[in-house]
Chain A
Amino acid sequence: AQSVTQPDIHITVSEGASLELRCNYSYGATPYLFWYVQSPGQGLQLLLKYFSGDTLVQGIKGFEAEFKRSQSSFNLRKPSVHWSDAAEYFCAVGARAGTALIFGKGTTLSVSS
């Protein structure tokens, strides 16, 4: 069965500092991997996705993530955090296109000035 683990419940980063949010997945084959962001009272917005090809993927808002098969990880990074990045971040895994996604419990990002 697929599963996703986000080890960090809450992270605080200073504005302008770099960010890395961790995500580990469990799945037998090459999964479809996603990062979504959720601002308070809003739905989920896709940041980036990986399903094949280059293991370093670029997303919106300056985010990137790297798929590491050997570590079963798909960590999200940003070189310089902005105050507007404060939100809830969810990692998700899917078996293939058209299948439901399994979400992690999320990481809350706070940005300090």
Chain B
Amino acid sequence: EAGVAQSPRYKIIEKRQSVAFWCNPISGHATLYWYQQILGQGPKLLIQFQNNGVVDDSQLPKDRFSAERLKGVDSTLKIQPAKLEDSAVYLCASSLDRALRGGELFFGEGSRLTVL
């Protein structure tokens, strides 16, 4: 089966500019996650969607970050305006919700953002 697709793989922008990342989850996966991974750290959850509804966005910096998941499939994460500290890899993941599957997350390859 096809994996989680993300684009772009790399993006370099100036501070105060905007950027958007796109994610297409594995077909049939109802839950989609965006994680931020700063160099040298573990991934940190930004937002979780179940179908097209938000389950958890408590760690999303809402003054500059926004995310949407239209029609319960693809998702877009936007940063506007970007700050230097937003330089990170943005990982998208998806999962099934059935308990027997063990709750594992399937990750895309990530989008690496550099803010200058």
A interface residue numbers (CB < 8 A to B)? 4, 32, 34, 36, 41-46, 49, 51, 90, 92, 94, 96-106
Size of B's binding interface in residues, CB under 8 A: 32
**What does the 1/0 interface line of B84-116 toward A look like (CB < 8 Å)?**
000000010101111111111111111000000
Q: What is the CA–CA distance of A63 and B73 in the complex, to the nearest angstrom?
A: 33
B50 interface residue per 8 A CB criterion: yes
Q: A43-B110, A98-B31, A100-B33 are in contact. Are A34 and B104 (CB under 8 A)?
A: yes
The winner among A42, A99, A102, A104 for most chain B CB atoms within 10 A is A99
- Provide the bound-state CA to CA distance between A96 and B97, in Å: 9
Q: Are B108 and A43 in contact (CB under 8 A)?
A: yes
Interface residues of B (CB under 8 A from A): 4, 30-31, 33, 40-45, 48, 50, 55-56, 91, 93, 95-110
Are B102 and A90 in contact, with the CB atoms below 8 A? no
* Chain A contacts for B44, CB-based, 8 A: 103
For A97, the closest partner residue in chain B by CB is: B103
> In the complex the two chains form, is A97's CB within 8 Å of B101's CB?
yes
A97 and B109 in contact (CB under 8 A), knowing A105-B42, A106-B41? no
Docked-complex contact B107 and A49, CB < 8 angstroms: no
> Are B45 and A100 neighbours in the complex by a CB distance under 8 Å?
yes
CB-CB under 8 A from A43, the residues of chain B are: 4, 91, 107-110
Chain A residues in 8 Å Cβ range of B110? 42-43
